[in-house]
Amino acid sequence: MNKLAIITGGTKGIGKALVEKFASQGFDILTCARNTSDLESLKSTICELNKDVQIVTCVADLSTKKGREVILETYKTLNRTVDVLVNNAGLFVVGQIHNEAEGVLENQIQTNLMSAYDISRGIIPGMISKKVGTIFNICSTASIVPYVSGGSYCISKFALLGMTKVLREEMKEHNIRVTAVLPGATLTASWEGVDLPKERFMKPEDVADAIWGVYNLSNQTVVEELLLRPQLGDI
């Protein structure tokens, strides 16, 4: 039986690149997004390129508790344990703490932090039972370097990095590896409309390749933080 990877937010950017990478390496995939047509297109493409893998999708808005329950309930129907969990789903809203719209902080905390928290809690018991598993939380360089116009996004990503560090300590004794991934500017939908050449950004596929490399280290080694930036530095 193939190994199973759960990758949230799998239809765009880094998430899509991760789905493509892990499927190409023989993993079955469970992923989610908010748009049905995007999920159907992704599933069709992955199945066409990878005949021996299964891809299961579900429509879920991970900014809500109900949406997070949807993906966990879908996972339960598979009756399998998870080898790799990638908490990738995220939201970026431009703003500053003193002037951003009411509710922006709450929405980004729910999407960027609570989705990873709730889904990890739902998946980890199965990993503990097998004494094996790897969790990647997609943080950001905004997790370590605050910037103007980052506002609540920076707050949520700082919090996600903190959660990842705590989870790493908790999972040591269970032989479960936990890695915080901190990508800088990556050519994703978050940067649409920005007047910069694409060469100024990292490729989502490069981030996915780096994560795949970390996963393939022996179980004796964990990369606690994977920091990636464009060659010319932050934007």
Residues 214-226 have pLDDT tens digits of: 999 999 999 999 9
* Phi, psi angle pair for 84, to nearest 5°: -135, 130
Per-residue pLDDT, 193: 65
Mind listing the pLDDT tens digit for each residue in 100-131? Answer: 999 999 999 999 999 999 999 999 999 999 99
Residue whose pair of structure tokens reads 């990873």 in the numeric block: 116
Across the chain, the runs of DSSP E, i.e. the strands, are: 4-8, 28-33, 55-59, 84-87, 133-138, 176-183, 225-228
137 token code pair: 């939380």
Nearest to 22 by CA among 45, 42, 4, 49: 4
Mind listing the pLDDT tens digit for each residue in 147-171? Answer: 999 999 999 999 999 999 999 999 9
* Phi, psi angle pair for 198, to nearest 5°: -65, -25
d(CA 222, CA 36): 35
Domains annotated for the chain, with CATH where assigned, are: 4-228 (3.40.50.720)
- The residue from 75, 117, 153, 215 that is catalytic is 153
Question: Is 147 an annotated catalytic residue?
Answer: no
* Phi, psi angle pair for 93, to nearest 5°: -125, 125
